[in-house]
Amino acid sequence: MKAISGKKLSEILVKKGWQLIRVKGRHHRFKKDNISISIPIHGNEDLKIGLLKSLMKQADLTESDLI
């Protein structure tokens, strides 16, 4: 799995129907169907693989969704 930035992941979430509900500092909180997740946005810095996998699981995303 290739790492991606939080910025790119947030764009993917919006395309998948997630709504940005608030921004606090560098963390963007998204919500969909009573599920909320927080994405750290640190410019174009890639997310660590473990964090990316955890966020993908919470958002019900697959690797093909990231392409």
Task: Kindly list the domain boundaries of the chain, sorted by start residue.
Answer: 6-66
Which pTM does this prediction carry?
A: 0.92
pLDDT at site 55: 98
Domain 6-66 listed as CATH 3.30.70.120: no
Q: Write out residues in the chain with pLDDT < 50, as ranges.
A: none
CA distance 26 to 29: 10
CA distance 9 to 30: 11
pLDDT at site 28: 98
CA distance 24 to 38: 10
| Residue 1 C-beta-side C-alpha neighbours within 13 Å | 18
pLDDT at site 1: 84
